Structure 1
């Protein structure tokens, strides 16, 4: 009887035990499955929201599979000798060109074939593939063709991608070509990047064949640009003459117009007389000779100390070097000096600037925006409030608005576009005030003017 009871008990247990694969999943497993499915259940509201982030990509992949097998396609894009079956909806959703074509009452709307001309088949295929895959590879070989086709078909993301890629490929050997291309397609950022490269690397750019393809207007736009990176104005003149002699019969007549933008007064007198004035192309053109004579006259006036304010005297920033300047001071026998010397760290040598045009002593010196400012001083037993400025770019001294209080033995510094003078003495004793000077308050009286020219 006991054996029979035990058998019955075991049978009962066996009949109520469910195989593990048939048991309901635990709460953790169920949550994981719902999470993978993208299902969010709200128990209180008794709702479930299915949201699958990868659904759009799956649809795109399925559409691409259908295109590859020509299933449900309703338009064929014909380019050169190739035909690409596509879905109108996909093309219209990808670019404005096809959307306008299929939406408006154009003949292509009712045709099952559309022919694209002036485009390469492999480039159009890349754009169609991009429409179905959102992926496109830009290379050195296809970037420009891709940009042209994408701009025509209005694939704006592709245009931007090509521009950014081409920016990374800009080099002195191709910057002019990329600039012309970008300008044609109105890609302004790319134009600016390529143009900057050409301005910075003039020495290398003039060696390229593309340099000789510049128009007169394009050449002038470079020659007249302040940011042209040259060590001397002679380099600009040499580049211009190379461009002219490349097609001298057709370009010689343009030389006077171009030379107007070369800053001839900044060229050394020796080079001006020995190389430019005696150049046959200059010598046999009246307008060119006049430009040379005008440059020589300006140089002469400057050396004579006249007030010459001519734009052609403005050096390009690349022609200027940051130097250390020493203004005046006291010599070994306690005499105040009026000379100005500077140290050029590139050439590693000292040189001189014109002497200061005033006689006071015990002044203070500071700099602001590459200009030298001398404030105050002591003259004829009196403190003075004079402020003098020397502009290296235009090479002249001028007297600017004086300080509110005369002072000497003071300190000065500059920051935030202002000059600050601190302490010092005046006729009444020590000063403890701090004053600011704004260099914009210029009275316009130019007393002395200088220019430094190299002599070859």
Structure 2
């Protein structure tokens, strides 16, 4: 289903009013209870007989007349049960002498089709809310105080939030007091701001106050502050004569202390409107001199890397740390999970799952689940087989555990876990026995590449078609790789590093399954590594830790696929290999895993990797 469009949709003033509520505005100083919470409105019951009365027009005691002479026979008591508006209207009419007979209500500005949907809800408890009618239906439901329909409308709008309509929905929600919808849309705007700049036609229609509230927010998800400045510049230049007076208050939202001096001097200082504003000049001088805290603190990251467990100093560890991409810093997280190495790690529904692993003399078939909100671990159903050096991925709401070693043999068996049933199921085995391989999901298919069978290191790779329930070989990689990292990014699979039987590798290659071509070489990593982790954050591929032929390492680097270049990133706090890393998005408590929650206890500048503890 196509989502709501922005052009002409969800305007705060495009509502239907009637009677004494015409042109109602938000009243300052009066808080109205939100009625759009995404739960069922169950304050009344909806017997089937009500629909029968309506269909057969039995016992009707009132008429409602809408636009285009649409007339509806209704039951006053039923409408009164779902609408305080009608309850007050009919109660008053019954108290007037001579008004107890069948009465008529005029809703001249209400579309008949929309009022028919209101009646559907009144008699059945539900109605057909769609992206085509919600813009008319919600204002009418709000006017008539049919809270259940307001909730249904808001649930649909929350589900339909997109970069090209979220600004309109945000304004729409504010006008109709839908606090939950307003909160959800505001959160969506901050987390998808860069996409909105590219796709939304309503960005230029924001007011100065609305734009300021977005740009100043710690939760604004932007790769760098240059994006913030370019956004306000674009907004002002859209109507320069009227908006240039907003420049000083908007420039205060830009965290100049996080920008390069070169960018400030060439792009900001030289902008004509900045040069003409004494307030902007003063702001720039103050920031350059003192780097005020509010202008230099990193924003809260939308994506957070979690690195858990691994092998270090000759033994397994339960060490957990998180990476704040905005501050380029790693932080230690207290955890009570058992020490493990060579396990699989993945995320599902913003929970972290640790699959299998090894602890010196024990091979595990366990599944442990970490809740980042509650900050606790719990045991889930065990696998059929113990697995270390296991390849793990998620697809279709399920966790896949592929191959690995049980301590006696390398396996080709595979199984998948369904969280709702807390149960593992056996799926067809891979064509090749593989431990020390790596798995990734691309275009609804599961790929496994490289690995080791106890005698041979593989170049081969294979794919599992979930629909066909079948494994098939694909083109082999350019190099044999044991303990590499396979990761999907955009339309390609990337294979990094690993061990070729002689040395740990820096080499990397990519493969596009939609093209009948060989794997292609890409830029080498800076550091050789095997038994490491890789994730995608901010459209960049991060490779983390591992073993470099001599020792376990802390080194982290990231790959820009557009530039085909690698860049250094702040190292982890603990050198380790055989660990897992994953990314969680949009955590409600993301600040607790970020630099902002540690800044009071840390004297180091962002980018330094000295241990900082998350309680």
TM class by smaller structure? 0.5 to 0.7
Q: Which residue of 2 aligns with 1:62?
A: 52
Q: Which residue of 2 aligns with 1:98?
A: 86
Deviation at 1:198, TM superposition (A): 1.0
Of the three residues 154, 163, 179, the one matched with 2:154 is 163
Does 2:222 correspond to 1:236? no
Distance 1:131 1:72 in 2: 16
Distance 1:95 1:79 in 2: 17
Q: Which residue of 1 aligns with 2:40?
A: none
Conserved in 1, the CA contact under 8 Å of 2:164 and 2:196?
yes
Distance 1:322 1:254, change over 3 A: closer
Q: Which residue of 2 aligns with 1:317?
A: 300
Distance 1:83 1:246 in 2: 47
Does 2:568 correspond to 1:350? yes
Conserved in 2, the CA contact under 8 Å of 1:103 and 1:109?
no
Secondary structure class of the residue paired with 2:202: helix
Conserved in 2, the CA contact under 8 Å of 1:256 and 1:288?
yes
- Which structure 2 residues correspond to residues 18-417 of structure 1 after superposition, within 5 A? 57-67=47-57, 71-81=58-68, 82-105=70-93, 112-207=103-198, 208-298=200-290, 310-318=293-301, 320=326, 343-345=556-558, 348-350=566-568, 389-393=602-606, 417=615
Distance 2:49 2:88 in 1: 24
Conserved in 2, the CA contact under 8 Å of 1:323 and 1:345?
no
Deviation at 1:80, TM superposition (A): 1.0
Secondary structure class of the residue paired with 1:206: helix
Q: In the TM superposition, what whole-angstrom CA distance separates every residue of 1:174-214 from its partner, at most 9, and x where no partner exists?
A: 00100100111111111111111111111221232211111
Deviation at 1:59, TM superposition (A): 2.1
Distance 1:213 1:115, change over 3 A: same
Distance 1:194 1:317, change over 3 A: same
Conserved in 2, the CA contact under 8 Å of 1:60 and 1:133?
yes
Distance 2:66 2:73 in 1: 12
Distance 1:297 1:117, change over 3 A: farther
Distance 1:155 1:184, change over 3 A: same
Deviation at 1:98, TM superposition (A): 1.2
Q: Which has the higher helix share?
A: 1
Distance 1:131 1:415, change over 3 A: same
Conserved in 2, the CA contact under 8 Å of 1:98 and 1:153?
yes
Distance 2:115 2:62 in 1: 15
Q: In the TM superposition, what whole-angstrom CA distance separates every residue of 1:391-428 from its partner, at most 9, and x where no partner exists?
A: 445x7999xxxxxxxxxxxxxx88772xxxxxxxxxxx
Secondary structure class of the residue paired with 1:295: helix
Q: In the TM superposition, what whole-angstrom CA distance separates every residue of 1:155-191 from its partner, at most 9, and x where no partner exists?
A: 2121111111111100010001001001111111111
Q: Which residue of 2 aligns with 1:34?
A: none
Distance 1:228 1:98, change over 3 A: same
Judge which range, 252-261 or 58-67, deviates more: 58-67
Distance 1:238 1:192, change over 3 A: same
Secondary structure class of the residue paired with 1:139: coil
Q: In the TM superposition, what whole-angstrom CA distance separates every residue of 1:211-245 from its partner, at most 9, and x where no partner exists?
A: 11111111110110011111111110000010101
Distance 1:59 1:351, change over 3 A: closer
Distance 2:154 2:604 in 1: 41
Deviation at 1:284, TM superposition (A): 1.3
* Structure 1, unaligned runs of 5 or more: 1-54, 300-308, 326-340, 354-367, 372-387, 399-412, 418-456
Judge which range, 275-284 or 113-122, deviates more: 113-122
Deviation at 1:127, TM superposition (A): 0.9
Q: Which has the higher strand share?
A: 2
Conserved in 1, the CA contact under 8 Å of 2:570 and 2:609?
no
Secondary structure class of the residue paired with 2:71: strand
Deviation at 1:321, TM superposition (A): 6.0
Distance 1:221 1:109 in 2: 52
Superposed CA RMSD: 3.2
Distance 1:223 1:56, change over 3 A: closer
* Structure 2, unaligned runs of 5 or more: 1-44, 302-324, 332-553, 561-565, 572-591, 596-600
Judge which range, 343-352 or 287-296, deviates more: 343-352
Conserved in 2, the CA contact under 8 Å of 1:323 and 1:343?
no
TM-score by length of 2: 0.43
Deviation at 1:99, TM superposition (A): 1.4
Distance 1:298 1:342, change over 3 A: farther
Distance 2:234 2:287 in 1: 21
**Structure with larger RCO (C-alpha < 8 A, sep 6+):** 2
Distance 1:276 1:392, change over 3 A: same
Q: In the TM superposition, what whole-angstrom CA distance separates every residue of 1:124-168 from its partner, at most 9, and x where no partner exists?
A: 111113323334111111123222211221221211111111111
Secondary structure class of the residue paired with 1:317: coil
In terms of Rg, which structure is larger? Answer: 1
